[in-house]
Amino acid sequence: MSNLVELYCSVDDFWKQFNAEWETHLIGNAKQKRGPASELSSAEMMTIIIVFHQSNYRTFKHFYSFLCEHHQRDFPHLISYSRFVHLMKTLFIPLFAYLLYRKGDITGIAFIDSTSIRVCHNKRIPRNKVFKHLGKRGKTTAGWFFGFKLHLIINDQGEILAFLLTPGNVADIQVAETLSEGLWGKLFGDKGYISSEVAKKLFKRGIQFFTGLRSNMKAKLMHVQDKLLLRKRALIETVNDQLKNISQIEHTRHRSVENFLVNLLSGIAAYTHQAKKPSLKMGSKDLALLAAA
């Protein structure tokens, strides 16, 4: 909670610009809104759910109780927990826009990978009703899971450039072309992204696509610099690990699709505010090889 004021200022500055533009595109209806308007502003609500993903709390209910007890002065218009959860779904579009606002800079070096987002234990798949028609069975190196895949592209400073959520059965290579839209330079991925056809399409758009080789594939000539950068691909796996274990984008207690998406976006937003992100750190030997190259 130490950076609460700084975080709120960032969210509030964004909200003032975004809301003015958003209201001009909203389509109204003849239905009269029921109940009083919430005194808690949207910027405050976005700040609260982002701070939750920066905290050590594992459940939002316990975190909200802590907030009501110790931070009433910071949020004087706090509403009940049930009312807050009901209103969370209204933050989906603002949070998505906020992530675009917080997008990292394109540096010419990028890494692509995906991670599984489980929504229930494998034994409870037949009983899951919330994601019955949305989640799919998928497989990773850790085994089978039910849910979704989060596809990410980051730069060499650990900043998120693009992300995409797909069902769990979608292959990584199927989204590489769409996810890399607008990028340039060099893109590094694992063996799941091997495709000569996709590599040719990306090359025409100014992107050199590098992946590892399977055991049954012939070795290809590669520049020393590119080979060193390919070895640093584990950087994005560290980002995936922090998103899951620090920002808590994955849990199996979701009761609605809307709040699942808000939880995911707010977790990613919390990561963008990390003071120290995993970045590309080259050793003395690596720097010497790059200089020679």
Do 154 and 110 contact (CB within 8 A), yes or no?
Answer: yes
Per-residue confidence (pLDDT) for residue 23, from 0 to 100: 83
Q: What is the pLDDT of residue 258?
A: 94
Rounded mean pLDDT of 101-107?
93
* pLDDT at residue number 37: 65
Q: Are 16 and 98 in contact (CB under 8 A)?
A: no
Mean pLDDT of 178-204: 92
For the cut 90, the answer to whether the pLDDT of residue 188 exceeds it is: yes
Residue for token pair 């590309």: 280
Cα distance from N-terminal residue to C-terminal residue, the chain: 46
Tokens 């030997």 sit at which residue?
285
Q: What is the DSSP string of 236-282?
A: HHHHHHHHHHTS----S----HHHHHHHHHHHHHHHHT-SS------
Nearest-angstrom CA–CA distance, 73 and 64:
14
Check if the beta carbon of residue 119 is closer than 8 Å to that of residue 147.
Answer: yes
The pLDDT of residue 288 is: 56
| Domain at 109-253: CATH architecture | 2-Layer Sandwich (3.30)
pLDDT at 31: 64
Mean pLDDT rounded to a whole number for the chain: 88
Per domain, the residue ranges of the chain are: 4-21+37-101, 109-253
Residues 50-74: pLDDT tens digits? 999 999 898 999 999 999 999 989 9
Cβ neighbours around 65 below 10 Å, total: 13
Q: What phi and psi values does residue 143 have, to the nearest 5 degrees? A: 120, -170
At residue 103, what are phi and psi to the nearest 5 degrees? -60, 145
Closest CA to 145 of 156, 134, 135: 135
Q: pLDDT (tens digit, 9 = 90+) per residue, 15-60?
A: 999 998 888 877 766 566 666 666 789 999 999 999 999 998 989 9
Residue whose tokens read 């800079």: 105
**pLDDT over 70 (residue 128):** yes
Percent of the chain with pLDDT over 70: 90
Q: How far apart are CA 78 and CA 249, in angstroms?
A: 24
Phi, psi of 270 (to 5 degrees): -65, -40
HSE, side-chain direction, 13 A CA sphere, residue 10: 19
CA–CA gap between residue 269 and residue 271 (Å, rounded): 5
- Asked if 165 and 89 touch (Cβ cutoff 8 Å), the reply is no
- What DSSP string describes 116-130? EEE-S-GGGGGG--T
On the question of pLDDT at 2 being above 80, the answer is no
pLDDT at 282 over 80: no
Stretch 184-191: mean pLDDT, rounded? 92
- Reply yes or no on whether the pLDDT at 289 is more than 60: no
